[in-house]
């Protein structure tokens, strides 16, 4: 089965592209399998391209998307690229050649897939960007993600709460600081990394300007603090270098803005190896995170990592499945944002999901009671198969 895209004219001289109408919708849990895709569902094939299997969350994302699509009766080609751009481009090329009907892509480099998306458009294959916006192409038809700027705001507020500047309601406690912190950002080729950092700095920059927050290294620009490919080892090495270059004279480090749990672990390794800690109540600086990886939830429960941002990827997968089903049925996926995500060529219609901040006291109500992890998994720091 090959889908025919719903087409409409764009600016004069431009190619025809899929036009999506925005509508304020509900979350992804509204029974996407109820309507079905009609007779012939078994003939629908979906290509799902995920960036890596070295990062726990992407394994979960890939498996959740695959299961949701298979529950609709679709066949699924799920591929992981091990953070290698040529591997991902080859995988997507193969999916297009084999005639998939929809592509769901979590890109490694959001600027590296233009030729693949051109080929998909020529074959009338809709493209859904999954959590990472694909840039510089008009052939991105839909984007499912979380509110990424809100993630950064939440990370900054979590850092300030861990430092004691804010209370649990994100209200000032009256403490004035100053607090010494260092900043980390994600991979510069991941569009989300900029949103996370900008959201965090919208909170932190005014406090840097008035002296409440001090960055002793002076490294406050996005380009100075990025972490290529979100690699633990890269974050650990940069933290080690910062400690050597900036904190050898007795300066105190109070906290670190870490935008992902995988980076948090590397940063914490460096801090503990330098004699800080081993836990928050024994002098370890406050370290934030993102993704609620099970190893980090144990660190939070053990008083090592301060907080993380929980993005329920089950809901993200459901939303991607729902958007895929809409394309299969010749309909327009439901968007709740048609203004924010400009990929350099077009504003991509998007569906944004909310996030939650998790401190130790939030583990049970947010993660365990919701069935995301069990208490035994948290205790072990490892999810059951």
Q: What's the whole-number mean pLDDT along residues 332-337? A: 97
CB 257 within 8 A of CB 226: no
Give residue 261's pLDDT: 97
Q: Do domains 7-140+313-353 and 148-311+358-380 have the same CATH topology?
A: yes
Of 310, 276, 42, the C-alpha closest to 155 is 310
Give the residue, 175 or 37, on which the prediction is more confident.
Answer: 175
In this prediction, residue 56 carries a pLDDT of: 84
> Which tokens in the block code for residue 86?
């040529």
The CA distance from 232 to 214, in Å, is 25
Tokens 């036009």 locate to 19
Q: How far apart are CA 310 and CA 302, in angstroms?
A: 18
Q: What is the pLDDT of residue 3?
A: 55
Backbone angles phi, psi at 179, to 5 degrees: -115, 130
**Could you give the C-alpha distances from 184 to 21, 73, 137, 207, in angstroms and in order?**
37, 43, 29, 17
Q: What is the DSSP string of 244-262?
A: HHHSSSSPPP-EEE-SSHH
**Fold category of 7-140+313-353 in CATH:** Rossmann fold (3.40.50)
- Determine the length of the chain: 385
Candidates 192, 146, 161, 177; CA nearest to 307 is 161
3-state secondary structure of 338: coil
Closest CA to 168 of 369, 307, 341, 333: 307
pLDDT, tens only, 207-216: 999 999 999 9
Sorted by sequence, the CB contacts under 8 Å of residue 30 that are 6+ apart come out as none
What's the average model confidence in pLDDT over 349-362?
A: 98
Paired with 143 in beta bridges are 129, 350
pTM: 0.84
Please state whether the peptide bond connecting residue 278 to the residue before it is cis, i.e. omega within 30 degrees of 0: yes
Residue range 148-311+358-380 forms a domain whose CATH class is alpha beta
Helix (H, G, I), strand (E, B) or coil at 108: coil
111: left (phi over 0), alpha (psi -120 to 50) or beta: alpha
Domain boundaries along the sequence of the chain? 7-140+313-353, 148-311+358-380
- Whether the CB-CB separation of 109 and 189 falls below 8 Å is answered with yes
Q: Please give the structure tokens belonging to residue 345.
A: 């060529």
Average pLDDT, the chain: 90
Question: DSSP assignment of 112-124, as one string?
Answer: S-HHHHHHHHHTT
Query: What pLDDT does 38 receive?
Result: 37
25 — pLDDT class (breaks 50, 70, 90): very low
For the beta sheet containing 45-50, the strands, ordered from the edge strand earlier in sequence to the opposite edge, are 75-80, 45-50, 102-105, 127-130, 142-146, 350-353
């Amino acid at each position: 089965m090959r889908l025919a895209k719903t087409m409409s004219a764009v600016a004069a001289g431009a190619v025809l592209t899929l036009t999506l109408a925005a509508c304020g919708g509900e979350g992804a849990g509204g029974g996407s399998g109820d309507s079905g895709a009609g007779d012939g569902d078994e003939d629908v094939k979906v290509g799902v391209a995920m960036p890596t299997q070295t990062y726990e969350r992407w394994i979960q994302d890939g498996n959740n998307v695959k299961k949701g699509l298979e529950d609709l009766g679709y066949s699924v080609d799920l591929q992981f690229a091990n953070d290698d751009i040529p591997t991902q481009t080859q995988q997507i090329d193969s999916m297009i050649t084999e005639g998939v009907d929809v592509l769901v892509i979590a890109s490694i480099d959001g600027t590296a897939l233009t030729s693949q998306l051109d080929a998909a458009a020529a074959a009338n294959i809709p493209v859904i960007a999954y959590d990472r916006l694909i840039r510089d192409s008009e052939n991105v038809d839909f984007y499912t993600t979380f509110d990424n700027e809100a993630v950064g705001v939440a990370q900054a507020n979590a850092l300030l709460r861990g430092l004691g500047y804010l209370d649990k309601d994100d209200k000032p406690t009256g403490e004035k600081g100053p607090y010494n912190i260092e900043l980390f950002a994600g991979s510069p080729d991941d569009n989300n990394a900029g949103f996370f950092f900008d959201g965090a700095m919208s909170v932190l920059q005014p406090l840097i300007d008035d002296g409440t927050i001090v960055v002793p290294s002076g490294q406050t620009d996005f380009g100075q603090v990025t972490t290529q490919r979100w690699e633990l080892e890269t974050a650990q090495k940069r933290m080690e270098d910062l400690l050597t270059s900036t904190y050898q004279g007795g300066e105190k480090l109070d906290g670190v803005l870490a935008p992902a749990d995988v980076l948090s672990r590397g940063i914490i390794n460096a801090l503990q190896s330098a004699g800080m800690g081993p836990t928050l109540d024994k002098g370890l600086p406050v370290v934030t995170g993102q993704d609620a990886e099970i190893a980090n939830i144990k660190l939070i429960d053990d008083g090592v990592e301060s907080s993380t941002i929980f993005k329920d990827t089950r809901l993200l997968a459901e939303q991607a499945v729902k958007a895929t089903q809409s394309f299969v049925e010749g309909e327009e996926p439901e968007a709740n944002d048609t203004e924010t995500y400009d990929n350099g060529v077009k504003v991509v219609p998007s569906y944004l999901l909310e996030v939650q901040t998790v401190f130790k006291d939030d583990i049970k109500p947010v993660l365990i009671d919701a069935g995301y992890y069990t208490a035994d998994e948290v205790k072990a720091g490892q999810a059951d198969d």
